C-alpha cells in the first residue's frame, strides 16, 4: 500500500491530546512532542474536511497524579478500583494554558472536542472510554451519527492515549489508522523486556490497526 484516498464523507482525523502539557516545556513532556503540530496541520489543510480532538482535562488533585498518593513517585504503578494505574506528574489541569489545544493547531475543521479525565477518581486514556472500560465519553455515538467509518489518529502519546483510542476504535468496528509521523511516544520499559511502544504496536497490529505515514493520505 502506498496511497490511501481520503473520503471526506466517511473519513475523519482524530487529534489525541495535542496539548502543550505533553510537549517540551510542559508538565508531562513527550520527547519531540511539539513536532506533531506541523504535519497535523498539513492534514487539516489538505485531505481531511472533518476532525475531532481530545483534551486531558483533569481537576486538581486527580487520582492519577503521583502527588495525590503519599510516598509515591511519577511512573510508579498502583492498583485502583478499575485496575492498574500509572501515576503521572500533575498535568492537563483543567483551565490551565497548557491544557488547551496547542495554539498553533488549525482548529477550523475540528467539529467536536472530547475532554477526558474530568472525573477526579478515574483516569481516561481512550477517546472512547474512561479507564474502567465501561464509562463512555460519547464519541462513538457522535461518530456513528455523522456516518464516519474510518478513523485516522494522531497526537500524544502513541503508546498511551493514541493506542488506547485506536484499540477501542477497532473493537467498536471502525477501520483504524495511526498516522505515525503525526504521533510521538513515551516508551516506558515493560516487564519481560521491550517498551510500551513495542507492546502498543503488537496489540494494535493484532486488531488490524495500520500504522501509516501522513504522505500516504491523499
For residue 2, count other CB atoms closer than 10 A to its CB: 8
Q: Which of 17, 90, 123, 159 is catalytic?
A: 17
Classify 204 as helix, strand or coil: helix
Q: Judge whether 17 counts as a catalytic residue.
A: yes
Buried-state track 163-187, b at ≥16 Cβ within 10 A, e below 16: bbbbbbbbeeebebbbbbebbbbbb
Give the separation between CA 92 and CA 85, rounded to whole angstroms. 17
Cross-strand partners of 150: 11, 175
Q: Which of 116, 123, 168, 182 is catalytic?
A: 116
Give the separation between CA 87 and CA 81, rounded to whole angstroms. 14
Q: Which of 34, 161, 182, 183 is catalytic?
A: 161
Q: Judge whether 132 counts as a catalytic residue.
A: no
Classify 165 as helix, strand or coil: helix
Contact 22, 159 (CB under 8 A): no
Give the separation between CA 218 and CA 202, rounded to whole angstroms. 27
Q: Judge whether 182 counts as a catalytic residue.
A: no
Beta pairing, strands 77-80 & 210-212: unpaired
- The catalytic site residues sit at 17, 116, 161
Amino acid at each position: 500500500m502506498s496511497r490511501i484516498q481520503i473520503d471526506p464523507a466517511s473519513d475523519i482525523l482524530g487529534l489525541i491530546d495535542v496539548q502543550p502539557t505533553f510537549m517540551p516545556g510542559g508538565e508531562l513532556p513527550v520527547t519531540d512532542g511539539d513536532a506533531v503540530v506541523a504535519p497535523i496541520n498539513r492534514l487539516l489543510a489538505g485531505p481531511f474536511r472533518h476532525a475531532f480532538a481530545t483534551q486531558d482535562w483533569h481537576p486538581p488533585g486527580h487520582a492519577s497524579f503521583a502527588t495525590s498518593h503519599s510516598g509515591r513517585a511519577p511512573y510508579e504503578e498502583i492498583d485502583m478500583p478499575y485496575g492498574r494505574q500509572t501515576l503521572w506528574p500533575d498535568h492537563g489541569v483543567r483551565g490551565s494554558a497548557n491544557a488547551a489545544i496547542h495554539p498553533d493547531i488549525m482548529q477550523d475543521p475540528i467539529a467536536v472536542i472530547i475532554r477526558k479525565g474530568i472525573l477526579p477518581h478515574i483516569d481516561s486514556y481512550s477517546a472512547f472510554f474512561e479507564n474502567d472500560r465501561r464509562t463512555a465519553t460519547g464519541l462513538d455515538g457522535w461518530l456513528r451519527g455523522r456516518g464516519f467509518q474510518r478513523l485516522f489518529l494522531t497526537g500524544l502519546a502513541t503508546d498511551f492515549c493514541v493506542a488506547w483510542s485506536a484499540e477501542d476504535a477497532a473493537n467498536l468496528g471502525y477501520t483504524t489508522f495511526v498516522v505515525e509521523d503525526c504521533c510521538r511516544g513515551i516508551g516506558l520499559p515493560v516487564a519481560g523486556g521491550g517498551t510500551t511502544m513495542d507492546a502498543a504496536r503488537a496489540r494494535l497490529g493484532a486488531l488490524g490497526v495500520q500504522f501509516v505515514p501522513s504522505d500516504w493520505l491523499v
